[in-house]
């Protein structure tokens, strides 16, 4: 018998804990009118890379560009981000944090 834990057992336990934690954080955020998990993720990405587009964020996260565009729109309406036209392609909108958007980070 080995003293080392089984990696597949540890992996399964870790997934369960992360899943439960994610659900709990999401539920707590929704009941206290705080930002949603996707909104917090977008703010964190913008903190790391100011001027990134919502489509770039979506690619990095493996979600649809429409989903992240809607999230960015909600953050913009809430005063957390603002968009500027891209210098090379005016169809693209570069996102930036406002002072309010920096506070939750």
* pLDDT digits 0-9 by tens, 22-65: 777 666 655 545 788 899 999 999 999 999 999 999 999 999 99
pTM (whole model) above 0.85: no
Q: How many CB atoms lie within 10 A of CB 10?
A: 11
Q: How far apart are CA 82 and CA 76, in angstroms?
A: 6
Look up the CATH number of domain 36-105.
1.10.10.10
Which helix or strand (DSSP H or E) is residue 84 part of?
strand 81-85
């Amino acid at each position: 018998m080995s003293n080392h834990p089984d990696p597949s057992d540890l992996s399964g336990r870790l997934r369960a804990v992360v899943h439960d934690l994610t659900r709990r954080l999401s539920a707590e955020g929704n009941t206290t009118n705080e930002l949603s998990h996707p909104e917090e993720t977008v703010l964190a990405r913008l903190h790391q890379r100011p001027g990134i587009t919502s489509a770039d964020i979506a690619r990095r996260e493996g979600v649809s560009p429409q989903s992240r565009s809607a999230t960015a729109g909600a953050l913009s309406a809430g005063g957390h981000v603002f968009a500027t036209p891209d210098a090379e392609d005016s169809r693209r909108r570069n996102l930036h944090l406002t002072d309010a958007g920096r506070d939750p980070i």
